[in-house]
Structure 1
Amino acid sequence: MRIIFFYILIIFNIGFATSQQTNYLHKIDSIQENIFNSKSKDSSLIAKAHYNIGELYRYNFLTDSAYFHYHRAEKIYKSLNERYRLAITLYGIAVIQKDEKDFTGSEVTSIEAISLLESLDETNDVRKYKAFIYNNLGIVFKELELFEESISYHIKALDLKEKLVGNYTSTINNSKNNLANAYKNSKEFDLALKWFDDILANKELIKERPDFYVLVLDNYAHTQYQLKRYEELPRLYLQALKISDSLNEGGYNSIAINQHLAEYYNDNNKKDSALYYAYKAKDISENYHNDDLLKSLMLLSKIEEGDKAAQHLKAYVKLSDSLQKVERQTRNKFARIRFETDQIEQENIQIARERLWLLIISIVLIISSFLIYVIITQRNKNKELQFIQRQQKANEEIYNLMLSQNESIEEARTIEKQRISQELHDGVLGRLFGTRLSLDSLNMDPSPDAVKTRAQYIDELKTIEQDIRKVSHELNTDFVSGSGFIDIIKTLIETQAKVYNLEYNLDYADAINWDGVSNKKKIHIYRLLQESLHNIYKHANATHIKISFKLKNGVICLIIEDDGSGFDVNKAKSGIGLKNMNARIEEINGKIEITSEKEIGTQVSIEVPIP
């Protein structure tokens, strides 16, 4: 998405005025690094972005940067075999080579681009770029002074442009002007004038393209000058200069007009006017430091005399050598850019391969590590599960043994109670009954004291009889249901307290129906209490513990308190014992809460639902 967004920005900015393009150039370097270092796999979009950056740099005369991006686009389009996009990219490179006076290189690149377009179906766009490339070749051959070839290519370009669908008047006029100049350079002045007249016949041209009108008018006037037709001179020159100055005071387009005026006035022995326009041309061309400055210096060396002429000629030679050196350096720079770009691409390919291998190795290591971790974790879980199963089985066996032992004890108690009850009923109660009968027989004694005494004894015996019957009945009744589990708990606490040298208080609610509690929960409660007592002994250094069983809303609440040293619950490490306690609580859907204060003690609260 970043590349698409950037691509739209490039297209959008190319449509702006030159000043806005220039402002945008300051942002390109910071943006393009992020764009082309991205991991996008859409090479075509990357190539388009390179191409449009190259276009933008070329329009702003930053040829080095333009060439670099064109070349990057060229490499990608070649790899994708996108012949049309490759051809228009080569055209951009050819224009840069022509502008930098690498005419041979521009010719080769242009021919390569034409060959690619010739292999495509001739659409309007293909025809348009073929015309542009032919136009570029016409200019190249003009600079090489091969005027016949230049005229031939300009005619081809013009013929193609006139067949284009759409409004291409401006580019058609450009080709006509280039063709007229080619005729002028080949000394075919009448043909040149014919094409200049054809352009100037458009009366709207001065309004639509005043800068181009000035250029054509100056070329037309200079052709008249070369034919030595002075009837309209210097009026045409001055008209062109006036329009140029009104468009851009002292601008680039006025250099050639001032040079032509200087030539005209010099030929007509008007030295002052000739020098005025020659120096004006020189002053303006010094801002550009190119061939126009060379022409101005050569012109001044011809108009001036003596030392001044020699100075201008010397400056001309020096500047000519400097420009030739710059041209060679530029051509070498282009070759170096191609070499460095290819070298960078090879390095990038190597880096990409290394990164790919590194990624593969990393993925393999990560997957291997993950599998090893899963295997080890699974083994540990299996061992833990087996341990829990063995522990659960052991717990059940222990509990069953405890229940069996308790049943034996209770059975013995029941037998003993029955024996005592029978003894009381059959022995003591029988004898007491006999005594009462004897006393009843003595009741025949009529004396008041005897009757009173006997009655007292009989009442007392009746009381004893009722008490014995009550004890006998209670001894023969079954013990309270669930008291067996509490006895097991009592035994555990008594044993542990004795071994650990602890004092204890046990408080339990009779309302808890232990018969309604599952064996699984009883085992876990037993083990939780056992583990808590062990932890108190091991860590708390306590002397007294309080244990209570309460029933709240169908939930058994076990609270274990000690007066030990206490600890920081938040910083304490979770050992195996505490983990086992948490695991047991989770298994019976209970809750556990541990609170502790240093030097005060610890409280463990356990809640277990009965159902």
Structure 2
Amino acid sequence: MRTLAYIILLFLLLLFSCKKNDSVAYDKNAAIFFDKNYIDKLGKNKKEKYLDSIVDLLKLKKNDSTVRNSYLKTATEYYYINNFEKSLSASLNALRLSKQSDDSIRMAKASYYVGDCYINSKKDSAYFYYLLAEKLYYNIHDYDNVGRMLFNKAYVLFYNGNYVECEVEIAKALRYLKKSTNHQLIFSCNTLIGNCLEKLVEYDEALHYHKLALGELEKMKINGNDDSNEINNYYVSSMINICNLYDLKGEFPKSIKILKSLLSADLKKSNPRLYANVLSNLAYSKMKNRNYENIGLMFFESLKIVDSIGAESDILYKKIHIGEYFLSQKDTTKAIQILKEANQLAVKIKNSNEILTSLKFLSKIDKTHRLFYANEYIKLSDSINTLQKNAHNKYARIEYETSRIEDENKILTKKNFYILIISFGLILLLIIIIVLRSLKYKNKELEFLKEQQKANEEIYQLLTEQNEKINVAKENEKAKIAKELHDGIMNKIYGVRMNLGFFNSKVDEKIIEKRKEYIFELQNIENEIRTISHDLSRSSFLEDNDFDVLLLNLIENQKDISFTQFKYLNDGMFEWSSIQNLYKINLYRIIQEAILNVNKYANAKNCEISVQKFNDASLIISIVDDGQGFDIKNKKNGIGLTNIKERTNSLKGEFHIESKIGVGTKIKVTLHF
């Protein structure tokens, strides 16, 4: 029957929008831009000019938190005077500046404000910005506002006739608000899900949620909410929703009794629009109960009130009710006239549900244009069905109901207790079996690891022997160079020295030229000695760093097989000869395994490998890459990481890994000896 629920939900959404400035803390530093007390005293035109001057000033200021706050406050004030275009502009500026500063809190708030500005003109855009705000609020753990954005999204879906998906979004909101003290928001969510269920013809469930909404009003009273008039308006709205359900179930006397009790002079004075809705609904319930006394006057009085206010959605619903009234009085001409007006108004404000309602009535009573209205009805109905075809299922509401029941029912029955004990026993038995199998596997793995370590020792021994052969060859080469120095260069220097001594006493030109030749020869000897000296220096650098040679060779070999640039760092504060072979071979294998992992999975540009000695009792190996990283919690360790961990554990060392997607990976191994 009723589309009045739409009005109530619109009232609730606008109420949240008007109160959104409460969440913006007043910033004393913003006083140079925004004087709230002064603005509140201005009329609409002067207020708009004052806000325009603030915006012009803000454009000249550097982007900081004060400027962003001022844009948000200005957007709110524009919204209060119904200048949605300028409110949208200020909100978008706040969003742009917040993105530049990576200010998540104000990005969320600005997105929320932009959605509010679009709610009456571009519902798809409003939905998009509410969704953006929802994600941002979720990232900063502001779950009350996550629930609020889900409510706003559901509101958009409800007014587009997508009741199933609307129900899903509200169920999500209620899950986020389970521990919230924002009873007003929870009240609105329960009201909206009740209206969704009404549209889905689940009247008993809808009634349940409307009663939950009334429970939230009681909590608001208990918590000391001083605005009793506001709570009373909520109460009247909820009772109207409940009466709608009674009418849909055919229980008209219940509805009439409640609505009569709601009509009062105080309500008419404090909230004429709500009074008009109660009056119209009472007339409708009486009409459905075939009690036609004064209902025409009641309908027209309610229409007159909302018409004076200019509430088009209210006018639409009243005209549809009046059309039904004329039909009940067999006045087809007036019924057609008023329903045509309702249809035109529904098209104007894009209310698809009431377009369908008016078309349905007109197709039945307007014999001349019956076929036209029927075709229009079918066309629009098919369009709506197509949009709703891919809607989410109802599991979200079931999940919410389940979690709520679990919170309320903490005491288990005896039967459930036995089931729990048996289940626990079976699980424990399963765990024992798994542990035993795991231990058996670990023992085999340790045996294999010992054999592997023995093989590694043998390999290292062979490598050491090979290095000794290399050192012998170096020694032979150095002896050869020393002989060359003694037999060749020293003789040359002696000959040059003798000749220069001989020619030193002569001064003719030939002798001078000859002396120059010997000086040039000395330069050649000098270059030859320098070359030999450099060769010897390089050899001496490697004499005491055999294991470093192995590591360097391992890393240098990656240049030909990998796109990653590997870099090896050694603080040079210790000698490898003081380290046991067992530690060196495991260290070598750990680095080798890490390099293999980087090449296979990291997709890194750079990788740094460092070895440091700490307190003469520990080695710290660090492997850091700038690759794609991975989620440590969700990804199981591969064979490479497992091998590294096992080698570390076998030496009673410590293994630590850090990684984030898109950031890279850091492996740290500490060995104690």
TM-score normalized by the length of structure 2? 0.44
* Structure of larger gyration radius: 1
Higher relative contact order (CA 8 A, sep 6+): 2
TM-score (norm 1): 0.48
